[in-house]
Amino acid sequence: MTTTPNQDLVRNALRSVNDPELHKDLVSLDMVRKIHIDGESVQVEIELTTPACPLKSQIEEDVRKAVEQIEGVSTVQVEFSAKVRSGPQPASKFLPGVKNVIAVGAGKGGVGKSTMALNLAVGLQQFGARVGLLDADVYGPSIPLMLGIEDLSPEANSEKRIVVPEAHGIQILSMGFFIEKDQPVIWRGPMLHGAIQQFLGQAIWGELDYLIIDLPPGTGDVALSLSQSISMAGGVVVTTPQEVSVIDVRKAIGMFRKLGIHVLGVIENMSGYVCTGCGHEEDIFGTGGGEDMAKTLDTSFLGKVPIDPSVRQGGDSGTPSLVSHPNSTSSVAIKKIVQIVAGQISQRSLLNADAPPVQINRR
């Protein structure tokens, strides 16, 4: 006698499929959204924990194999949807609708921190996530320029709260919208803390899966103030491969750890140069410094992004290179990094969901 497939048989088969990153089965992780059976055909919908899931094709293959084992099944169709999860602690009273906050920092200036913060935001948005970008570089906000929106002045609602504007499908808030151009701003500790609290408290963000924060260079007061005001899912450190930059990375990682911010890993930017004419690769600042550093400092290496004129042009022209050159070597590298970061955040939110909230002693 032949058996016909049913919901229980399919669900049981899916209990044998682990999410390769979260190391638990799809049923326990509550990722099975729909099972539809039509004779010998089975259709399964899996809800990923991020639309930028790096292991989607592996999950698809594993689901297919497991369901095909069931007697009477001849075709298996796997569909995906995504719902980003957050840990048990809300990002803060300032950010009620924000699921995960990711800070991007560097020990020194000019390593491409703002470029990486912007491209992380654009990349996550391109995968289908709802994303915000907070330019917290009070000393030299550059995100408005990179998006060609320097002249934008955000509107206030009837309660005098700032309605966060949107560009390229990303919600953007920058200190640059509120300070006069070309005027050096000198902030001292308490004043800066007050300004950041006000900046956070007065803005109305929408529902966001990820909020990326571009920190000022160095290990200063802005990161301290933000870490006291909002809870962050993790920090990304940007470096260039030179030795001196690598020394600065130690400082940036040290800062995140001191503030109780989990270090997601290191991006090595400006790692080699790919000639746009002939495709020849040249090591200008060397490569691999960030990778060695990540190992030494016991954190993840998130990937390398080469020097690419389209990245700089993207920053100057107001159209990020992920949008203008989606298939360039640098864009492909950035998209991989985006997926690794999103995967790590999913892992963290699952870990956090299992653990009680942690009390952190700050200096």
Residues 285, 290, 295: CA angle, nearest 5 degrees: 150
Q: 323: closest CA among 100, 170, 145? A: 170
Asked if 310 interacts with Mg ion (CB under 5 A), we say: no
Q: How far apart are CA 99 and CA 187, in angstroms?
A: 30
Asked if 176 interacts with ligand ATP (CB under 6 A), we say: no
| DSSP, res 85 | -
Asked if 206 interacts with ligand ATP (CB under 6 A), we say: no
Residues 132, 136, 142: CA angle, nearest 5 degrees: 90
Residues 156, 150, 119: CA angle, nearest 5 degrees: 100
Q: How far apart are CA 43 and CA 37, in angstroms?
A: 6
At 171 the three-state DSSP class reads: strand
Cβ of residue 260: shortest distance to Mg ion, in angstroms? 24
Stretch that binds ligand ATP, among 9-17, 37-45, 242-250, 302-310 (CB under 6 A): 302-310
Number of residues that bind ligand ATP (CB under 6 A): 21
- Per-residue mark of binding to ligand ATP, 135-154 (x: CB under 6 A): --x--x-x------------
Q: Report the residue closest to Mg ion, judged by CB.
A: 114
Interacting residue with ligand ATP among 86, 114, 229, 352 (CB under 6 A) = 114
Number of residues that bind Mg ion (CB under 5 A): 3
Interacting residue with ligand ATP among 85, 113, 193, 325 (CB under 6 A) = 113
Asked if 328 interacts with ligand ATP (CB under 6 A), we say: no
Query: Own/partner pairs for 150-158, CB < 8 Å, 24+ apart?
Result: 150/176, 150/181, 152/177, 153/177, 157/204
Please give the distance of CA 62 from its chain centroid, rounded to a whole number: 26
Q: How far apart are CA 348 and CA 291, in angstroms?
A: 22
Asked if 174 interacts with Mg ion (CB under 5 A), we say: no
Instruction: Compare residues 72 and 109 and give the one whose CB is closer to ligand ATP.
Output: 109
Asked if 269 interacts with Mg ion (CB under 5 A), we say: no
Interacting residue with ligand ATP among 51, 87, 107, 112 (CB under 6 A) = 112
Binding site for Mg ion (CB under 5 A): 113-114, 142
Residues at the contact surface with ligand ATP, assessed by CB under 6 A: 106, 109-115, 137, 140, 142, 217, 269-270, 305, 307-308, 311-312, 315, 330
